[in-house]
Structure 1
Amino acid sequence: MSGPGSIGPLPPPGFEQFLLPASPAVPVLPALALVLAIAYLAGVLRLRRHGHPWPWLRTACFLLACLLMAVVTGAGIDAYGQLMFSILMFQQLALTMVIAPLLVLGSPGTLLLRATPHRGLGSTVLRVALCALRSRAARLALHPVLVIPLMLLSFFGLYVGGIADALLPTSIGHVVLEVAFLVVGIVITAPLVSSDPLPRRTTYPSRMFDIFLEMQVHAAFGLVMLFSPTPFVAYFTTSTPDSWGVDPLRDQGVAGILAWTFGELPLLLMLIVTLARWRLQDTSRAARDVRRADEDTEAYNAYLRQLQQRERGSAELRAESDD
């Protein structure tokens, strides 16, 4: 049996088959990964040519995200993701909870603002980027209230609501899902871990609350998929070749386990990063307050010394006049 967009019959799934090079019918995300990696490296090299450093950790995060994006959507695993629920769930979690946060941690917005020339075409690019960043649509997209509806839509709405059944039979529909996974991941994680100049800043208590709710959504969806007595996505009951011996209901349970475990780990890491940044912010603020208090105390002491000197000077003048 041939999967949508695959060439020739697919052998039974295996780790070596997942990583084999493949040619997707619509290679949107692999091509995007290559373009993003080249553009990012060009920006880093331009900064360094002008003597401006750029953190190597940000570069590593962004390039790793591009590599994973190319593999997850361009290798053999992509064809299997069109035939098995568990593989599609792995792709969704990888794009949403791993690749998207790594892209955000690379701070591409900051790099764009620093590395783009301020004349010619670069000036136009900067104006467009700043207008998009300050737009009402950007503020709305990054509003923390949207996090939970997006999570519910990308899990329960997609699979329980029947959206997946409408999109998965075609290669273009599968690519639309992958792009949607990546976009949702960026929108969800940008307010939580981004260091770029966003149009809206989310407070640390709000970030922790969002992460906690996201963990509950993952757990609830995983449990529903794991213990459901019937398949939720009708497409996957007929897409898998019989010769593979894959039980659709058991495969759905595997997808639920992935949503619960693989989906929770990145959120736990985000929670740790959020707590660390919150503590660092409080420590910096406390140190700044201490310095300001010391400066105020020193200024007040200097004022008192001036008063004492004036009083001594006045006393000496009165003593001289009495003499």
Structure 2
Amino acid sequence: MNPEKGSFELSALFQFDPASASPLAWLAVACLVAYLTGAISLWVSRRGWTVGGTFSFVLGCLAWFTATGLSVNRYAEDLVSVLLFQQITLMVAVPPLLLMGSPGRLLLKATPRRGLGRPVLRAALSGYRSRTAMVLLHPAIAIVVAALAFPTLYFSDAVSWFLSLPGGHPLLLTMFLLFGVIAGAPLWSLDPLPRNPSYVVRMADVGIEIQIHAVFGLILLMSSGAMFSWYADDPEAWGMTRALDQAIGGGLVWSYGELPLIIVLVVTLSKWRKSDLRKAKRLQSKEDAELDAYNEYLAEKYGNER
């Protein structure tokens, strides 16, 4: 459904339209309700839960719902730039906010140990210890995800194939969110993970992802004609050409898509520096203790000889 020519405004993308909402939007609502239920139960029982983590998770769910539950979801099938907005939001913006809310730790603390809670906890712990989790958290997976979700999906025109399928658009959105959580967990998660990459590996991952986004965005910015069969015709009802639509999408990848990665790059560098300072301090303390012990030994030995 396109707007009438010349009548489109940016605000039209962010109107609540239940008829065009993706099923994924209601999953965001369910996750928000479940999280708040767990957090409130801990506050009521005076076991405590972080307000900052709760705020982060709520923001993540709201961003998730914005990308999938408002009218932007309907217009994504008309404009590739709108689909890219959805993709960047679900892959790059939402996962950090959800992961910094420590949903895994909340699940373990708030779920009852008896009744229905017991199988839930057992399933969660089994998933945490599974080989699948170890494989998905391998540093190379984040790079594979970035390559599959951006250049491979679009330059092979697989995006058009997905959109042509019944339910293909919701399937794409689900993939974007899952890819984002898998790639973002080693970088953003505050929950303990079965595999924690070193700071060097994290820096390499982020650097490669930034390059993938930059090249992909640049190609879209420089495009002069339609690149995807689903988006072959000019969206005249929107008062723009397809090349402009693609350029807007490229600009989003360069700005909106890169910002969280630059933030995680700075945070990782800061954590790396603090970790090195702590190690140096521990090493210095150990050396000082050994030197003091040696001085005491010398004083005791030669002091007695006198």
Structure 2 matches for 1:193-272, cutoff 5 A?
193-238=188-233, 240=235, 242-272=236-266
8 Å CA contact 1:107, 1:196 repeated in 2: yes
Query: 5+ unaligned residues in a row in structure 1: which ranges?
Result: 316-323
The residue type equivalent to 2:277 in the other structure is T
Q: Deviations over 1:262-316 (max 9, x none)?
A: 211111011111112222322333333444445555666677788799x69xx9x
> What CA distance in whole angstroms lies between the structure 1 residues aligned with 2:114 and 2:6?
54
Structure 2 matches for 1:99-110, cutoff 5 A?
99-110=94-105
- Are 2:139 and 1:144 equivalent residues in the alignment? yes
Match of 2:30 among 35, 39, 45: 35
Are the structure 2 counterparts of residues 77 and 232 from structure 1 closer, same or farther at C-alpha, using a change threshold of 3 Å?
Answer: same
Moved more, 214-223 or 283-292: 283-292
8 Å CA contact 1:26, 1:172 repeated in 2: no
The aligned counterpart of 1:320 is none
Are the structure 2 counterparts of residues 34 and 304 from structure 1 closer, same or farther at C-alpha, using a change threshold of 3 Å?
Answer: farther
8 Å CA contact 2:21, 2:71 repeated in 1: no
Match of 1:275 among 265, 269, 272: 269
8 Å CA contact 1:19, 1:75 repeated in 2: yes
Partner secondary structure for residue 232 of structure 1: coil
> What CA distance in whole angstroms lies between the structure 1 residues aligned with 2:237 and 2:4?
12
The aligned counterpart of 1:321 is none
Q: Deviations over 1:233-259 (max 9, x none)?
A: 11112484x333321122111111211
In the TM superposition, residue 229 of structure 1 has moved relative to its aligned partner by 3.1
The residue type equivalent to 2:207 in the other structure is F
Partner secondary structure for residue 240 of structure 2: coil
> What CA distance in whole angstroms lies between the structure 2 residues aligned with 1:159 and 1:174?
14
> What CA distance in whole angstroms lies between the structure 2 residues aligned with 1:197 and 1:157?
32
Q: Deviations over 1:94-134 (max 9, x none)?
A: 11110111111111112112222222222221111111011
> What CA distance in whole angstroms lies between the structure 2 residues aligned with 1:138 and 1:206?
18
8 Å CA contact 2:20, 2:74 repeated in 1: no
Are the structure 2 counterparts of residues 144 and 11 from structure 1 closer, same or farther at C-alpha, using a change threshold of 3 Å?
Answer: farther
> What CA distance in whole angstroms lies between the structure 2 residues aligned with 1:214 and 1:158?
15
Structure 2 matches for 1:88-107, cutoff 5 A?
88-107=83-102
The aligned counterpart of 2:43 is 48
Are the structure 2 counterparts of residues 184 and 24 from structure 1 closer, same or farther at C-alpha, using a change threshold of 3 Å?
Answer: farther
Structure 2 matches for 1:1-323, cutoff 5 A?
2=1, 12-25=7-20, 27-169=22-164, 172-238=167-233, 240=235, 242-294=236-288, 296=290
In the TM superposition, residue 151 of structure 1 has moved relative to its aligned partner by 1.0
Partner secondary structure for residue 175 of structure 1: helix
What is the aligned length? 306
In the TM superposition, residue 50 of structure 1 has moved relative to its aligned partner by 3.3
The residue type equivalent to 2:186 in the other structure is P
> What CA distance in whole angstroms lies between the structure 2 residues aligned with 1:177 and 1:24?
19
Q: TM-score, normalised by structure 1?
A: 0.86
In the TM superposition, residue 49 of structure 1 has moved relative to its aligned partner by 2.9
Are the structure 2 counterparts of residues 304 and 56 from structure 1 closer, same or farther at C-alpha, using a change threshold of 3 Å?
Answer: farther
> What CA distance in whole angstroms lies between the structure 1 residues aligned with 2:39 and 2:298?
53
Say which structure, 1 or 2, has more relative contact order (CA 8 Å, 6+ apart): 2
8 Å CA contact 2:234, 2:240 repeated in 1: no
The residue type equivalent to 1:115 in the other structure is A
Are the structure 2 counterparts of residues 9 and 202 from structure 1 closer, same or farther at C-alpha, using a change threshold of 3 Å?
Answer: same
Aligned-residue RMSD, C-alpha: 2.6
The residue type equivalent to 2:208 in the other structure is L
Are the structure 2 counterparts of residues 255 and 57 from structure 1 closer, same or farther at C-alpha, using a change threshold of 3 Å?
Answer: same
Moved more, 293-302 or 214-223: 293-302
The residue type equivalent to 1:260 in the other structure is W
Moved more, 106-115 or 83-92: 106-115
Are the structure 2 counterparts of residues 110 and 171 from structure 1 closer, same or farther at C-alpha, using a change threshold of 3 Å?
Answer: same
